[in-house]
Structure 1
């Protein structure tokens, strides 16, 4: 019964914020396209520098013991901090465009990484990108979109309340935001564990 309540709540949330999800997805996809094209039109000098960096990364990954703990803390810094930043922007009046910018940058990073890996290794690069980039991002992307939509809705409501002279929020609304933050961070943590302990081992096995 409780599971059904969660599903119903999520479904209702998506229906109520459908267009915000569309906008968030649009910026994410735009970022992916920009990332792909920026890689395509890079100068040969820049490509060579990135290629050298990529090759050194592959050598380190295959020749040394994987520093899972270092990857873990780096993943926390890169992802948990972004989630907190998105929610923080949601309580500001100028948060909405900055939240969309974060979506754009996230998409750009994914598009550029996949495009670069394929450009360096061809068909093997595609397999490497699918295994090394996509698994954790299947978790990260919905979480970033969910956090973005909740924060954009909060920012819009704040602007609306300010325009109509309502300057206070209901306690239930604050509780919902806190629960949303905790839930999203919990789900992101699964992606961080995958990125830190599962993906590197699979990549090392395949590269060897």
Structure 2
């Protein structure tokens, strides 16, 4: 769950009106920060969540092995997006929380891919724990950051992740089909919410860009 930080008119690397960041000649951290602040990066993160959800919903009769591989790949890719997103956070506590989420996703993804023949209960435990903990950390970030943009979206995503984690952990799954539909549904919901964040962030960037362009003219 990638959450844009700061107001659209914050200081730092300037963004183009399409939401992409220009090439930076600074350190790798600056490059990662510019990339993570791009609305297209948030959009790609949303699609990385939405597409696996659609896949597991369209083919719910696939084996547990296939499900574990899809979920493992989703967790790895999502962890990569969250790692880059962490560097767009200026606050130390906020960045640390994001890095912890990224590490959690990557470790869970490796575990799913390393042991794809694990039981349904084990797979549910892994995914449910990841969603629950990441939702709690996202809520902490949204509440702790003073200048976070679209705080309501961030808290909504956090609440959705926490509920998803609790549901997956609490409800017994009797078959791979039940688990597939449950996980697929939550992935689609999380992906749709993150799409909303991406387009809201694009609008904020465009408004900030328009304000910067009209500023000098209004002072003449």
Task: Name the TM tier (shorter chain).
Answer: 0.3 to 0.5
TM-score by length of 1: 0.42
Which structure has the greater CA radius of gyration? 1
